Chain A
Amino acid sequence: MPIIIEQLSHTYLPGSQLAYPALSDVSLTVQDGEFLGIIGHTGSGKSTLIQHLNGLLLPTAGSVLVDGLDTREKKLRKQIRSLVGMVFQYPEYQLFEETVERDVAFGPKNMGLSEEEIAPRVEEALRLVGLNPSEFSEKSPFELSGGEKRRAALAGILAMRPKYLVLDEPMAGLDPRGRREILALIESLRSDYGTGIVMVSHSMDDVAMFADRIAVLDKGSLFMVASPEDVFSHSTELLEMGLNLPQATQLVRALRARGIDIQHDYFRMEELAADLIGRWNHDR
């Protein structure tokens, strides 16, 4: 079953002078096991939207159903939060326990699992993020390196075995290697566990590379939700919203401006490269 967002509106501080409509009339479905990218300029409502997916924020109007469970029902919230794992920006700042093991166990413990059920989950989660349990379990999370902390925090969410994983800028502030590792992890979660991924990102290349569909938010409204191909063929509109384009799309635009006729709207570098090499060989 999917996550169904229907005509969702959210206003911060409703009724006061500071009332601020952050989302209006957004309808969107997150399918089982799909990779949905969310892009939008700062203040477009991305964070507000994803916080609705596990009931951290509640709709001012409209509804959010997670596998048929309404986020407005207080009794269902715990269940919803174990279905939808949420990785905030800079998740390493939520580490608090004395050992990595105990920190990772925090989520499963809150779900009411027994010690016997928790231990294998913790070990599995640590392995998934590439932290060797025998080496890291007993370490304090505060003595890890930046990248390790990020992965330990991620393990804390994965140990809950969420059906959907929502990530807000999961690669922010990481070095290229750290970025690659996190992206590979997200991809393997989807392929090996069938986890549905919702990822907010400012990197158009990452979204273009991995997302099945992309939702574009602009000033609190859903501009479009479609395949990367469709979305990046609207390059002019995206640029007007203050968004960037994937490098391949930028190159296509630049080449077209110079009179080189490329029919296809490429958004992945490999495909564009293949096309260009084909032309070059042909011309010779």
Chain B
Amino acid sequence: MTANISLGQYLPGNSVVHRLDPRTKIFLMALYIAIVFVVKSLVVFLLPVVLLVAMFLFAQVPASYFFSALKPMKWLLVFMFVINLFATQGTTLWIDWKFIHITQEAVEQAVYITLRLVLLVAGTSILTLTTSPIALTDGLEKLMSPLRKLRFPAHELAMMMTIALRFIPTLMEETDRIQKAQMARGADFESGNIFQRAKSMIPVLVPLFVSAFRRADELAMAMESRCYHGGEGRTRMRELHFHWRDLFATLLLTAVLVGIILLENLPL
């Protein structure tokens, strides 16, 4: 049982954000990222912060997910903060002690960078939290489909992503099983130095690869026997449709982006 790893981290629900078209959500994320990067001054940073809070509220995602989204990033955040604190040149010295020089500009820069990263990670997590992996790849496929004119295999790529996502839990289960089988034969994955440990993974990796190839083969066979032949002329069971809410959301975020650009560039 390896259910403790939540990959894809989709949080099923029926909020407005959940019901947005995946294409809209992908586009909105691009807008949101643009907003986060366009902001330059501390006061205006309030806007994306409010936006982030609003997204969590509308998506009905518990605040705990905000922290769990940041958790894998915590050391990067600390690192970015510290680096910017010491490495940024400035004129207004705040602290000047032995070899440590911290300027006002450095503090500002460090806060901006860290805040930007937090906003980015937490904001984009909304996309994966409210969109099922299947809907996400569907949306990506649709968005990429104009590229088909340039012989870009949009459908095939989306199908590969779907299959890869589909097999993550299967392979995790398989790993768990093989690992246990080898442990029952006295294999030890926990002790020894890094080389010994890497070597101890061979009895797990070889059967895992063998079974992954076997599964791939079987899946290909099963798809072919159901006449799968790629994207050309393929219809779908669930068509994506834009609704009014998609338009509203897009307009809202566009307005925020334009507003911020104006705020940052107008002499106030």
Query: Is A24 on the interface with B (CB-CB < 8 A)?
Result: no
A233 within 8 A of B: no
Q: Is B207 a contact of A51 with CB atoms below 8 Å?
A: no
Contacting residues of chain B (197-221) with chain A, CB-CB under 8 angstroms = 202-204, 206-207, 210-211
Judging by beta carbons under 8 Å apart, are A96 and B184 in contact? no
Chain A residues whose CB sits within 8 angstroms of the CB of B207 once the complex forms: 93-96
* A54-111 interface with B by 8 A CB criterion: 54, 56, 78, 81-82, 85-86, 88, 91, 93-96, 106-107, 110-111
Q: How many residue-residue contacts, CB under 8 A, span A and B?
A: 64
Q: Please, how many residues of chain B have a CB less than 8 angstroms from a CB on the other chain?
A: 21
Q: Does A12 sit within 8 A of B, measured CB to CB?
A: yes
**C-alpha spacing A157/B187, complex, angstroms:** 12
Instruction: State which of B26-34, B108-116, B127-135, B173-181 sits at the interface with chain A.
Output: B173-181
Q: Is B148 an interface residue (CB 8 A)?
A: no
Does A18 sit at the interface, judged by CB under 8 A?
yes
B156 interface residue per 8 A CB criterion: no
Bound complex: CA A13 to CA B5 (Å): 11
Chain B 166-200 residues near chain A, CB threshold 8 A: 177-178, 180-188
Which 4 A-B pairs have CB atoms at the shortest separation, nearest pair first?
Answer: A110-B186, A96-B206, A86-B184, A107-B185
User: Can you report 23 A-B residue pairs in the complex whose CB atoms are below 8 A from each other?
Assistant: A13-B1, A13-B3, A16-B4, A51-B180, A56-B183, A78-B186, A81-B186, A82-B186, A86-B181, A86-B184, A93-B207, A93-B210, A93-B211, A94-B182, A94-B203, A96-B202, A96-B206, A106-B186, A106-B203, A110-B185, A110-B187, A110-B188, A157-B185
- 4 further contact pairs, Cβ within 8 A, besides A12-B3, A54-B184, A81-B184: A81-B183, A85-B184, A86-B184, A107-B186
Q: Which residues of B contact A (CB under 8 A)?
A: 1, 3-4, 177-178, 180-188, 202-204, 206-207, 210-211
